[in-house]
């Protein structure tokens, strides 16, 4: 079953951000029970892209999917990253419907887009797939999620959601909260109200809702809003060890 179908039929799916170029981390996350990872080229360490094929191999080995978050200035590279084995693309700071069109153009095969077709890639299983199998549509096409993280994204949400090819919205509460806090107009809703509005408009368009979560409490909150994909903070890998170290070294420990 494809990830797109699982998101609709068996939510919630669990994921994590990957910011270090370590295939073992991806494989370990899969064996820990997660369903997917997002390789973060926006905030990840240098060298992450160079090891993307190895990271997607690790995901395959653990039976999970790997998406890629593009830097905002690298939208036209989406097709090449899908060739390396990524199952989908995440677009950060999505503010305009034109951005969706640019990403679809770069990542979809004709007639929807202009992505070049080559089976001599990891996605094409190094020539073992026929071109028509690689260019499948429907549930098998790459997933495309956009992050609403700014006031412009909120203002233009209806136009963004109307664009063909967009599968859903990934809520980015940290950046969105910072944008709301910096707004001096005094007319904006609080963060929780805006998140609820985004969730409602996304559901009204029958699109998927995903959310970046700092921990269990936040994940539960986004489940209530209807999120079918919960992407946990990369920092949770280290938080457990930090809490353990503090507990052991404390006088009470």
Q: Evaluate whether 15 touches 34 at the Cβ level (below 8 Å).
A: yes
What CA–CA distances, in Å, run from 90 to 109, 142, 180, 210, 246?
A: 18, 10, 22, 11, 35
> How many angstroms separate the CA atoms of 160 and 170, rounded?
13
Residue 218 burial by Cβ neighbours in a 10 Å radius (0-12, 13-18, 19+): middle
Phi-psi region of 113 (alpha: psi -120 to 50; beta: other; left: phi over 0): beta
Widest CA span in the chain: 66
Q: Evaluate whether 86 touches 56 at the Cβ level (below 8 Å).
A: yes
Q: Which of 31, 43, 140, 159 is catalytic?
A: 43
Q: Evaluate whether 38 touches 17 at the Cβ level (below 8 Å).
A: yes
Q: Evaluate whether 131 touches 164 at the Cβ level (below 8 Å).
A: no
- For the question of residue 43 being annotated catalytic, the response is yes
> How many angstroms separate the CA atoms of 173 and 214, rounded?
10
Secondary-structure percent of the chain, ordered helix, strand, coil, rounded to 5: 50, 15, 35
Q: Give the end-to-end CA distance of the chain in Å, rounded to a whole number.
A: 47
Known catalytic residues are 43
């Amino acid at each position: 079953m494809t990830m797109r179908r699982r998101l609709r039929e068996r939510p919630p799916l669990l994921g994590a951000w990957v910011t270090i170029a370590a295939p073992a981390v991806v494989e370990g996350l899969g064996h820990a029970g997660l369903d997917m990872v997002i390789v973060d080229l926006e905030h990840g360490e240098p060298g992450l892209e160079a090891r993307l094929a190895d990271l997607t191999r690790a995901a395959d080995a653990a039976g999970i999917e790997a998406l890629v978050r593009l830097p905002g200035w690298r939208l036209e590279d989406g097709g090449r990253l899908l060739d390396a084995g990524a199952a989908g693309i995440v677009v950060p700071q999505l503010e305009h419907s034109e951005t969706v069109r640019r990403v679809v153009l770069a990542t979809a095969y004709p007639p929807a887009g202009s992505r070049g077709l080559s089976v001599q890639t990891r996605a094409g299983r190094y020539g073992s797939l026929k071109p028509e199998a690689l260019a499948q549509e429907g549930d098998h096409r790459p997933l495309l999620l956009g992050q609403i993280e700014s006031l412009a994204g909120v203002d233009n949400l209806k136009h963004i959601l109307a664009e063909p090819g967009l599968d859903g919205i990934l809520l980015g509460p940290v950046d969105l909260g910072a944008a709301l806090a910096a707004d001096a107009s005094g007319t904006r809703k609080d963060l929780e109200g805006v998140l609820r509005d985004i969730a409602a408009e996304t559901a009204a368009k029958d699109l998927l809702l995903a959310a970046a979560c700092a921990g269990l409490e936040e994940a539960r909150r986004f489940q209530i809003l209807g999120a079918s994909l919960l992407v946990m903070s990369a920092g949770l890998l280290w938080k457990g060890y930090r809490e353990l170290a503090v507990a052991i070294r404390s006088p009470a420990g």
